[in-house]
Amino acid sequence: MKRFFLFSIISVLILSICCGVAPITAFAGSEEIVSSKSACLLDYATKEVMYEKNAHEKMPVASMVKMMTILLTVEEIENGNLSLDEMVTTTENASGMGGSQVFIDPFVEYSVEDLLKSVIVASANDASVALAEHIAGSESGFVKSMNKRAGELGMKDTNYVNCTGLPAPEGYSSAYDSAILLAELSKHEIYHNYSTIWMDEITHPSGRKTGLTNTNRLIRYYNGCDGGKTGSTNEAGCCLSATAKKDDMRLISVIVGAKDSQTRFNECSKLFNYGFANFENVLLVNSETILTNCAVSKGRVDNVELFANENFSALLKKGEENPYKVEQQLPSTVKAPLKAGESTGKITISKDGVIVKEIDVVSHQDVLKITYLGTLEKIYQNW
């Protein structure tokens, strides 16, 4: 009997190998997809990992560090602390940066727009340091803000020591953290205004011109790719973070430690192809859909429309049954006064019996309490 049982197990294993049956793991692809040291494929909407290989391993990521430099600059602009036409006086320190650069002159003025474009498109180290010094007073002060922001985004495997990604023993990140960072950066329209540029130029104060060519070749050669950041040093190998969108689905693909430049582009594309072919985003809760037209007690209006406070999308493998359950707890009536955004109910999303998300049910408008005069007027109208 024991021999029969052992024989059965061995037979199943042999059949699995011969037929290519892989063990089932949640949204984790086979490591055979990529040869690079580390990789991560992330769904933008749900932040779920669709594929990973050593995704949390701390590694140098070269110029992919600049995504945080770009993010902080863009956030400063959107918060009103910086403008694209603001002029930045460069320093000798900034102009003396090695590696990829746009050869800025020291002690002259460049616009924030030209410097930001140079970082996003051409991965310019000198422009990165010029922005960092202008925003924080020094590169070291800017690096503190970089690490603070990384902590806020939940990037647990990251430590920045400069704003460029130039080799430094204490500087590291991970494929997963890089994916989270690019997902955050991809929220900003200002970033996409420059990330999709293939070729451009900047004019220096002296009148000379420097051409810019996007280091991310996928924006030209992969349909739907509209952003990303390359990186390459001896320590980090060839790296790439890229984002692409098809229909309503946006993916973030990250490669760290590829053997050469072409491999990072090929493997990043392979991850995109894998994700778009095998997964789909399903919008389970739509914040624009009216849930109910609820009766109002003691209000100036008789009814108010209620909505989910936010969207909720689920990442599903194509062809598989939806495991999510959506339950609504809606009031039969609400009492005035009611402020816009104030919770009046709940939507609960669960998966396999475990609650994964709770969303407030709200009104988009203030509902004022009826006055004594208003009550009399309403009685008269009804009569």
* C-alpha span between 182 and 144 (Å, rounded): 19
With H, G, I as helix, E, B as strand and everything else as coil, classify residue 91.
coil
* C-alpha span between 29 and 22 (Å, rounded): 9
With H, G, I as helix, E, B as strand and everything else as coil, classify residue 107.
coil
Q: Annotated catalytic sites, by residue?
A: 63, 66, 123
Cβ neighbours of residue 202 closer than 8 Å, sequence gap 6 or more: 102, 110, 114, 117, 118, 209, 210, 212
Four-point Cα dihedral 268, 270, 271, 272, nearest 10: 90
Nearest to 68 by CA among 134, 128, 4, 22: 128
Four-point Cα dihedral 112, 114, 117, 121, nearest 10: -150
Residue with tokens 């692809």: 29
Four-point Cα dihedral 232, 238, 241, 243, nearest 10: 120
Which tokens hold the place of 122? 């051409």
* C-alpha span between 159 and 9 (Å, rounded): 47
List, as one string, the DSSP characters of 359-381: EEEEESS-BPBPPHHHHHHHHHH
Which tokens hold the place of 271? 């991850």
Rg (CA), the chain: 26
